Chains A and B, each alone.
Chain A
């Protein structure tokens, strides 16, 4: 039931921006895009979410294309502690707003 496609892994140099892409070409008009990350053996941590407009918070920025078929999560200055699996999720807008996780992107931040 996952509705997103992400690259399995990415590398990023410490201090550089990490840009994580996500394809959600079948997204419906009222479905939100959420990003979570999971550090090894912990529960997922909320990062950011959006509907149409680009969003920014203290952790990251979310850029959503105009047609909403893809998005990019940007970590502006990656640190070693940002090494984690990042999940892009399209929230189902019916049936209790379930989350179905895809396979995610393993981001490796290297010194």
Chain B
């Protein structure tokens, strides 16, 4: 089956620093990747859609200058949380859509736990 990886799996950083999270599709090409955020005991919230070779599109209420997304290749998208603050502490999950798949199912990564001190 299709595999999506994320790195790192967990990160702890100081307030004010920037953190980069990588999302990779390991055995398929993904023209579109998605980034989600999940707070404790809550559901996944879609943050943005990442498109290879073009600008990401952000959901309403998500600050694009705060959450920088780069989708430089068909297998890699990165999310950078800039000037992180404690309220940015969350579980960040990416998913990738197999461009060759007929029904467009999404495959999810294992998530990255971000803790901002």
| A binding-site residues for B, Cβ under 8 Å | 2, 32, 34, 36, 38, 41-46, 49, 87, 91, 95-104
Contacts and interface: CB of A to CB of B under 8 A. Distances in A.
Nearest to B42: A103
A43 B49 contact: no
Contacts of B46: 98-101
Interface string B1-19: 0001010000000000000
Given A43-B108, A45-B108, A97 B97 contact: yes
B79 to A, nearest CB: 14
Nearest to A50: B103
5 contacts: A36-B108, A41-B111, A43-B110, A96-B51, A103-B43
- Interface hub of B44, B45, B57, B113 (most chain A Cβ within 10 A): B44
B111 A43 contact: yes
A34 to B, nearest CB: 7
- Interface hub of B6, B32, B43, B95 (most chain A Cβ within 10 A): B43
